Each structure stands twice: as structure tokens, then as C-alpha cells.
Amino acid sequence: MLEDEYQLDFFYENGFIRKQCSKCGKFFWTRDVDRSTCGDAPCDPYSFIGDPVFKKNYDLSEMREYYLKFFEDRGHTRLERYPVVARWRDDIYLTIASIADFQPFVTSGQVRPPANPLTISQPCIRLSDLDAVGRSGRHLTTFEMMAHHAFNKENEEVYWKDHTMELCDELFNSLGADPLAVTYKEEPWAGGGNAGPCVEALIGGLEVATLVFMDLEQSGQGNILIKGDQYRKMDNYIVDTGYGLERFVWASKGSPTIYDAVFPNIVNELMGLAGIEHELDNSEYANILAQNARFAGLMDVSEKANLFQLRKQVASSIGTTVDKLSTIMEPVENVYAITDHTRCLTFMLADGIIPSNVKEGYLARLVLRRTLRKMNEMDIRIPLSEIVEMHIDNLPEYPEFGEKLDVIRDILEHEEKKFADTLERGRRMIRKSAKHYKSAGEKIPLSTVIEMYDSHGIPPEVSKEAAAEMGVETELPDNFYSLVAEGHSRAEAKVEKVFPYADKVDKLPKTKRLFYDEPARMEFEAVVLDVFDNHLVLESTLFYPEGGGQPADHGTITVYDDVLNVVDVQIVNGVVVHTINGTEDEFHLRKGDLVIAKVDEERRMAHACHHTATHIVNDAARKVLGDHVWQTGAQKTVERARLDISHYKRITQDELNQIELIANRTVMENQRVTAEWMDRVDAEKKYGFKLYQGGVPPGNRIRVLKVADDVEACGGTHCTSTGIVGPIKMLKTERIQDGVERIEYAAGLAAVRATQKLQSYLDQSAEALRVLPEHLPSTIERFFGEWKDFKKENEKLKDELAHVRVAGMINDAIDIGGIRVIASLVPNADAEELVKIAGELTREKDVVSILVSDAEGVKIVAAAGNDALIAGANAGSIVREMSKVVGGGGGGRPNMARGGGVDPLKVNDSLECGVALLKEQLKVA
């Protein structure tokens, strides 16, 4: 079936023939009648190294510009790149392909494309082959996907396969590629719920472009089977191409590795710092790298076993040993990886990712720490920010990077310190553990190494190294990381809550939402469209459904004489569903009834104040903390609101005060709050992706809300001007994740109430201490100091008291088998005092003391001096038995034990019991 897809006029008219690869069996198109292989790895090895495929060599910006200009000249609109962090999507963190820019709404046909056809060079980040980066000679974490896209609809076709192939082929020809060297391999493509035929463009053994003709979508009813899944034709069909900028540059230069082609000056600089002579003019050295890249091109080197295979092949091809080769290659590979990783970090941080322990922030930290480890290994002792600065200088076509330099430097310094601390902490833990296993004469077990990594972030090599310094071996198998993964329990798939009547609701027309046009109106009449149990759908409503962190409106709906309470309002696919407190039996509503409804105005106003305040605070936070601040969540209630923002440090009280001041200033300026329905594409162009801080709404048109300098796509109900918000009172900050700060505040009347509450805390505290509130800090400090002094003095007095008492008590000792025994009641003494007395008494070696007190129930302490112990006395068992008598328990060591009970009347019985037991122990009849 799919075969027909590739029978293009373009091929036939341009002298191509379809062949089947003699090695992999796949079909491909070529102009070369003698060719028998498809041109892709592993069927064809790299031939471009040392033998560039284009007539001229290009650096990144030249190549990018050439490409974009080429497509611009051929009717495409050039688009600015999108950020590497996919702010407009909630299903992926990073931009992994140019088409990701247009998913999901443009590709689904819901939103018109920003231009059609268009061309773009989109920086992408893929961390899936992290281990291969540096080793394979071709893998990068960050690359630019140059692309031209055409979005076709039935009866509105821009262009499809033939023209796409034509453009691609023309591009190669214009760059001076040998037409006979270019092959186009057929390779059906599927991913992310879509699929379609695809052609890979290959030259010199290198895949440089992928041309996807996306025209299928996954569907249970589909009749096209690809890789076991069913697909069906889509109404719209999309030309999704991807040309690897870095690969084009590499192919144009023919350097041994892609790294030497893409950022040669930084590679050289770092090689120098690492003390490696990276002389590509040296043909022997260049040959090693080239051979490595050629062989690596044929395999996946992210696995250790494969890496060894690679080494073996390269070693034998140049006539050396694996060991010798490894000592040459490993440092070079590390430097390549460092160069690549730092470029990745440059894009990540400049586009606003804050390193964190969750989400995309974790990915940034992962790359960052990996880089630091490699730098450490290579003994490159410069701040990370210096390398990042080199990249920024190297990428003048991204002027926005330079503007972020100060924040980036700050973040990097902070992260470097953090990692150094973590490692130092880890080394200490390992040393401790090593000491333990050394004395036992054992290796450090795997479980410890896993825990060090999993719970404390200490890479296994670091553990091993630290242990080795102590002369202890470490158990560290090759499949360490998979063992770590095994230890993790599988996350349970969460069951998403589905509205039970979703099917029926889907058939109803979308509810007219009146609250946008008439934000001040609270009463309305409407016709009932349908009723499901206690859920009610009206044809129009003033009730705001929960959304955007704003809770649902409450209120009443009156029908005939029944007043029904609305306790929840949700929106299901554009249909607003009101939930009534009660069951259907209790009220009598039918389709077509006319109801009078009233929204709880106070609740709505409180929400509106907090919602508008949230935008104001967000704006103020960005002004105080910096432009990297990004809203990651928000929630409003009647009493308070909270805003989560990305920030790499804790917010200080001083900063919070500033935010509060700026926010209240915005309020006092009484600026108009405006909401405007805009075309999505226009809005994005005008305001950027900051629009989507509160979430990404669906649809072609979005509601753009402007509050002060904050512009966001927001569907909430708001105050009409900032003055109406009233005072904004900061309540607290909280660190909900590393890199995410939560600010809590109250606005309007809630702010006044919050302030009053704080005031009452102060007043109550001041009153309790009988001072004025302004004297609280000094008074409390004094009190706390005095309390500590009293505590110490109390301790001292008890010591002295014990000392004094002891003198009297020792005289009352009775002799039991040569041991002096003091068994007595010490009235009102607490356990602490008894211990002191007993301790004091038993400094005499031949003494056993059994003390009982009637404070707070019964306290019992027994102690035995050294001679008494030898004679058989055991305070522990004495106390245990005595405690039973008074209805409690106790125990301790033979020389000192404590216990107690609840029955003070049995104090004497208990003492007698203790003495009797002691006699037994001392074997005195």
C-alpha cells in the first residue's frame, strides 16, 4: 500500500530509478544506475570525511542563512525560531523538532499556521542519546532543525510530495552536490499519533534530511496498518521536513567529527585547557578521529558493549591496541561532550529554564552536572560560565543570549557551588562508610553505591574514587544504572476523572458565556437545555466555571418557587455544567424551563480581586527578581491566592517587600485592565509565549488580558481596573520545588482581614508579655535569653541539691551482704533529680541506690556502684520489677535504670519489692 506513495512524477522526470538496497533490503531512489546500496548507515560508510560533498564549506550562520534564503526565494515565509523549552505545550518539556512548534493546534487544523508555506531553523534539544554525544562523532544534544513546512487542506493545497522533493533536490544541486551521490530512501514514518510516508535524503553516507509527508492519524477505525497500529487519512496533510543544520555544515567541511565542524574554536580552546594537542593537520591523529566517526556511524555507541566493539574495530583499522586507542580517545571525547553540553546549557538557560530537581529544570541540571563531572575529569578548571560565554560570543545571530548573560552567570555559579557541596557531602559519607567496611574487611556493597547515587546524587565513579582513597574496594557492575532503575517502583497510571455525562454534554451547543461581556452583572434568566442528575446545563450563563486557577462561582438558581444552590460549575468541551446541591428528585426541572439565576457576588468579587492581583504580583515579581521569572502555577480562593514562579534562589524578605510595594503601586495607579479576543498567531507574534504562563488555551482565538505590564492569555474574570483590587498583602513564600517559589498573598478585603489577623497575633503576644508591640522583638530576645539562663541555673541547683541530699542519705544506708543500700522516697523530686542523686551516691563503689518519688505519678531510679555490680546487683531488673508494682514499666542498664508508674499509693510496696529483689541478686537470704 505505502509503496504507491513513493511513485512520484518528480523521480521519473528527473532520471531516478527505484532500487532495493542489496544490504538492508529497503527501497531507494537514485540517479546512479550502478548503485546497489541505499546510501544510509550501515549499508554505506561515511565517504564525506576528508572529502566534502558541497563545493564550498560553510559555518553555522552561513549555512543557516543560505538555507532560509533559499526557501524564502521560493515563496516561503521565514519564521523566527521558537524557544528550546516548549512553553506552548504541556506534553513535552523541550522542543525536539521544528514541527513541535506547530503542534498540537496547527497540525490538527484548529489554528491557522503563522505562515504557509514557511521556513525556519529551529534549535532543538534531544537528550535521548546523551551517552553517544562526543563518542560517535555525530551526536549532539542541541541541533538546529532547518525546515520548510506546508500545511495543506482538502481543496487548499500549497504543495505536496513532488514539489517538496523538487525543492530538496534543487537545494543539494545549488550547493554543488554530486547528483549521483544523493539517494532518497523510502522509510515510512510514525510518531506522536501521526504517520505518513517519508523520504530520507542521504549524501556521502550521511542522512542530512528527512522529508515527512504527514497525512495519517492513529484511529481505531483506520484501515492502514503501520508498525502494528491502525491509521486513517487526515483531512489536512502536512509537509514536515527536517534538515540537520549541523550535518550540512559537517558535510560541507568534511572534518573528522561534527564537533570540529560546528564549533571548532571552542573545541580547540577546551582541548588546550585540557592539555590535549588537537591538531587536525596531523594526518595520523585526524585519521584516528575520522575512522572512529566512520565506524561509529554504523552503530549505536551509547551502550558500553558497543563502545568496546567500536574501539576494537578502530584499533585494528589503524593498527593499534584498544587500550592505547582508549587513552587517546577518551579525553578527546570528553572535551567534545563538554563543548556540546555547554552549548545545550546556553540555549536552555537563555530560553529561561531554571535548573531544578523537577521537570525541564531537572534536564538542565542533568546536563550541567554531567558537564561539571567531565570538566573535573579533564582538569579543566574554569567556571562553567566562561565556556557558556564562548558559545554566546560564537552565536551572534542570537543577540537575546547576550542580554541574559548576567542571570546565566549567576545561575551557573549557584549551580556549581551546589554541586560542589553535594559532592563534598557525598565524599564524607563514603569515607564514613568505607571506614566501616574496611574494618570488616569487606567491599562497599552495591546497595550503598546505589543509595549514594539515588538518594544523594553521588555518581558511582565518585563513590569508587573516594573509597579507593581509603583503600576500600567498591562493588560496581557495568549495568549500574539499570540496576538503579530496577529499584524504582513503577509509577501507577493515574485515572483521570471523567465527567460521567461527557457523551451527552458533547451533543449540546456550547454555552454562551455572558460573564466576559458583562463582568458586573450578577443576575440573569436562562433556558434549561438539559438536566443530568443534579447537573444542569443552561443555554447561557453568568456563572464562571472553574479554570485558570480560579474556582467556580457559586450562587442560586430559582425555578418556580424552588431556590437551588449552585455548588460547582465546570466547563466540558465548551458546555458549562452547573452542579446543584441535592438530587434530581428534590427539584423539578425540565428541558425548556426558564430559570432565574443569581451569582454569589461577594465570592465572585473576591476571586476577581485575587485573579487580577495574581497578574499584578507576577509582573512585580518579574520586575524585582528578573526576566527569567515564569509562572508555573496559580490558585485563587476567597481568602487568599498563591502564585508559583520559577526562580533559582529563595526569595528574601527584602525582595518580597519590594514586590509588595510595586504591586500596590500598580494598584494605586488604577490602570485599566483590558481583555481582547485576538487571533492566536497575531497574539503570539505580538507578545510572545509569555502569553501562556497560566496555561495554553485551545482554539484559533485567545483572550489576551493586559494588567499593568503583564500580558497573558487568560479566561478568568477580572477587576476592570487595578484600583478595584484594593490592597495586596504578601503573606509568605514557600519553596515548593528547587527552582520554584510559591508566593502567597491576599487582595482586597481579604488583604485587610489578613492584616487584621496579623495585627491580632501581635497584640495578643504583646499583651501576654505586657509590652508594647514595638518592644516585642527586644523583649522576646531578653525572655528567651533569661529562659536559657534559668534552665542552666535550675540544672546547677539540682546538682547541688543532689549533692547536699546525698550526704544525709549515705548515712542511712543499710548493709546488705557488704553492700551499702539506700532505698528511700525522695518527695517531689522529678526523674532528673533522682538520676542525679543516684549517680552521686553510686560514685561510692559499694553502694546501690533505689530511689522513688511521688511527683507526677511515680518515678523510680536505681543505680549500682561498681563493686555492687560485681556482687550481682542489676539496677535494670530491679526497676523493671518495681515499676510493675506501681502500674508502669521501666528498664535500663545494670548500673543505672529508670522507670515509673501511675499509682503513688503503692510507693512503699514498690520499694520493698526492690530491696527484696536486690537481696536475691546479692544472694543474701
Report the interface residues with RNA, using CB under 7 A.
Answer: 357-359, 362, 365-366, 369, 418-419, 422, 425, 428-429, 432, 451, 453-457, 481, 484-485, 488-489, 491, 494, 650, 734-735, 738, 784, 788, 792, 831, 835-836, 838-839, 842, 856-857, 859, 863, 883, 887-893, 895-902
CB of 498 to RNA, least distance (A): 18
DSSP assignment of 536-600: EEESEE-PPPSBTTBPPP-EEEEETTEEEEEEEEEEETTEEEEEESS-GGGS---TT-EEEEEE-
Q: Which residues contact 352 (CB under 8 A, 6 or more apart)?
A: 83, 85, 627, 628, 630, 646
Give bridge partners of residue 892 from the DSSP assignment.
897
CB of 342 to RNA, least distance (A): 18
Q: Which is nearer to RNA, 230 or 376 (CB)?
A: 376
Is 554 marked as binding a ligand? no
Helix (H, G, I), strand (E, B) or coil at 652: coil
Q: Which residues contact 376 (CB under 8 A, 6 or more apart)?
A: none
Q: Which is nearer to RNA, 28 or 93 (CB)?
A: 93
Is 488 marked as binding a ligand? no
Q: Which is nearer to RNA, 183 or 849 (CB)?
A: 849
CB of 35 to RNA, least distance (A): 40
Report which of 232, 35, 51, 72 is spatially closest to residue 146, judged by C-alpha positions. 72
Q: Which is nearer to RNA, 562 or 903 (CB)?
A: 903
Q: Which is nearer to RNA, 655 or 679 (CB)?
A: 655
Q: What is the residue whose three cell numbers read 527484696?
A: 916
**What is the signed CA dihedral for 650, 654, 658, 661, rounded to 10 degrees?**
120
How far apart CA 559 and CA 701 sit, in angstroms, is: 35
Q: Which is nearer to RNA, 188 or 839 (CB)?
A: 839
- DSSP assignment letter at 5: G
Q: Roughly what angle, to the nearest 10 degrees, separates helices 460-469 and 405-440? A: 50
How far apart CA 217 and CA 196 sit, in angstroms, is: 8
Instruction: Give the CA distances from residue 161 to residues 185, 221, 535, in Å, rounded to whole numbers and listed in that order.
Output: 14, 26, 50
CB of 93 to RNA, least distance (A): 8
CB of 526 to RNA, least distance (A): 35
Q: Which is nearer to RNA, 412 or 559 (CB)?
A: 412
Report which of 551, 541, 553, 545 is spatially closest to residue 596, judged by C-alpha positions. 541
Q: Which is nearer to RNA, 775 or 791 (CB)?
A: 791
CB of 822 to RNA, least distance (A): 15
Q: Which three cell numbers stand for residue 103?
A: 503542534
Q: What is the residue whose three cell numbers read 528567651?
A: 784
Identity of the residue numbered 292: N
CB of 489 to RNA, least distance (A): 6
The number of CA neighbours under 13 Å toward the Cβ of 241 is: 30
Is 436 marked as binding a ligand? no
Q: Which is nearer to RNA, 435 or 701 (CB)?
A: 435
Q: Which is nearer to RNA, 519 or 888 (CB)?
A: 888
CB of 789 to RNA, least distance (A): 8
Q: Which is nearer to RNA, 290 or 743 (CB)?
A: 743
CB of 389 to RNA, least distance (A): 24
CB of 141 to RNA, least distance (A): 14
CB of 832 to RNA, least distance (A): 7
CB of 21 to RNA, least distance (A): 34
Q: Which is nearer to RNA, 23 or 735 (CB)?
A: 735
DSSP assignment of 311-354: HHHHHHHHT--HHHHHHHHHHHHHHHHHHHHHHHHHHHHHTTPP
> Which element (helix H / strand E) includes 184?
strand 182-186
How far apart CA 616 and CA 608 sit, in angstroms, is: 12
Report which of 291, 392, 301, 293 is spatially closest to residue 350, judged by C-alpha positions. 392
Q: 4 with 158: CB under 8 angstroms? A: no
Q: Which three cell numbers stand for residue 825?
A: 522516697
> Which element (helix H / strand E) includes 746?
strand 740-747
How far apart CA 402 and CA 620 sit, in angstroms, is: 24
Q: Which is nearer to RNA, 491 or 520 (CB)?
A: 491
Q: Which residues contact 551 (CB under 8 A, 6 or more apart)?
A: 607, 636, 637
Q: Is the peptide bond before 104 cis (omega within 30 degrees of 0)?
A: yes
Is 139 marked as binding a ligand? no
Q: Are strands 819-825 and 847-853 parallel, antiparallel or unpaired?
A: parallel
DSSP assignment of 253-279: HT-SSHHHHHSHHHHHHHHHHTT----
CB of 701 to RNA, least distance (A): 29
How many of the other CB atoms lie within 10 Å of CB of 141? 26
Residues of the binding site for Zn(2+):
611, 615, 714, 718
Residues of the binding site:
611, 615, 714, 718
